[in-house]
Amino acid sequence: MNNVLIIEDEKQVSEVIKAYLEKDGYKVYTTTKGLEGIDMFGKIDFKLVILDLMLPDIEGEEVCRTLRRISDVYIFMLTAKVALNDKIEGLNMGADEYLGKPFSPRELTARVNALFRRVSLDSNTLSFDDGKLQVDKDKRTIKLTGKEINLTPNEFDILYSLIASKGNVLSREQLIDRVFGIDFEGSDRTVDVHIKNIRKKIEEDPRAPKYIITVTKLGYKFGGDI
């Protein structure tokens, strides 16, 4: 589970963000003080810090600089300071995102989800559904509930192409170009055969697939949850 630290002096704002993030499966910790946030950060493995700049004890900018000196954790600045110079300064001191108040909790949650999708896809091992399905893009291996699954090279490339598309639909023609190359002279139904075989290997019920979803008249997309 991904741990998130919210350092925000307005408790009501913290509670709203916390509720939205916990609904999406994050473990959320909150504090209203910058120094306490720094102390908490040293005790728990946080993947993301949502940081207000206007804190009662020390400036949020100082918290950001302190965290950046000791960690490469992702930092979302959340603040009423919305001038362009403030945003540039925040990004220059190490923030990864800069969101101005007032803000939409739904937008914030969407940005957090997008961040963790990017982080997962940048790592060597991609993990879905709390580790049930694991894909190692360098070793080109697949594990389902801890057991290695034998995919052919083409099957692996098709599956990984769908994963890398981040939930977007890929047509049969796009999959052929990415996996077989533009010189491929076979039928686009070749993709369907491979998809059927992959489903037999990784889906609990191939007739009601969870990972490789058919989008009628368009193609396929990956449906696993990070």
Structural domains in the chain (count): 2
Compare 113 and 201 and report the one with higher pLDDT. 201
Q: Where does the pLDDT of residue 182 fall: very low under 50, low under 70, confident under 90, or very high at 90 and above?
A: low
Same domain, 101 and 10: yes
Give the highest mean pLDDT range of 57-71, 120-134, 175-189.
57-71
Q: Mark which of 105, 122, 139 sits at the end of a domain.
A: 122
Closest to 221 in 3D by CA, of 165, 140, 143, 174: 165
Same domain, 144 and 173: yes
Residue 93 lies in domain: 3-122
- The pLDDT of residue 102: 84
Share of the chain above pLDDT 70, in %: 94
Lowest mean pLDDT among 33-42, 83-92, 135-144: 83-92
Share of the chain above pLDDT 90, in %: 48
Amino acid identity of 182? I
Same domain, 78 and 146: no
pLDDT tens digits, 185-214: 777 788 999 999 999 999 999 999 999 999
- The pLDDT of residue 118: 65
Same domain, 19 and 97: yes
